[in-house]
Amino acid sequence: MYMVVLGLLLLILKLAEFGPVGNWSYWAVLWPFALAVIWWSYADSSGWNKRREIEKMEDRKRKRRQDNLEALGMDPRSRRKR
């Protein structure tokens, strides 16, 4: 995501011909987009994105279960009162 933001910033500076970026070639301005495509293809092929998605889903399930137990008064961390 950072590479896309950097690429957009450089592209805007190039189109506005602002500062030294206005004199750069388009190849120099567009390289962050190429790096972003390479990163996304690596992250998808390695399964990195899917693992992060599964971890987030598991965290949500854990939190939802904990909230439900607390709402029922069955907090497993507290000592049982008899």
In Å, how far are 30, 33, 55 from 11, measured between CA atoms?
A: 7, 10, 35
CA distance 66 to 59: 11
| Whether residues 16 and 33 fall in one domain | yes
CA distance 7 to 78: 52
Residue 30 in contact with residue 14, Cβ under 8 Å?
Answer: no
| Whether residues 42 and 63 fall in one domain | no
| Whether residues 64 and 42 fall in one domain | no
Domain around 59 = 47-82
Number of folded domains that form the chain: 2
| Whether residues 13 and 42 fall in one domain | yes
| Whether residues 1 and 38 fall in one domain | yes
The pLDDT score that the predictor gives to residue 35 is 96
The pLDDT score that the predictor gives to residue 51 is 87
| Whether residues 53 and 38 fall in one domain | no
pLDDT in tens, the chain (82 residues): 899 999 999 999 999 999 999 999 999 999 999 999 999 999 888 888 888 889 999 999 999 999 998 888 887 676 655 5
Tell me the one-letter amino acid at 64.
R
| Whether residues 60 and 42 fall in one domain | no
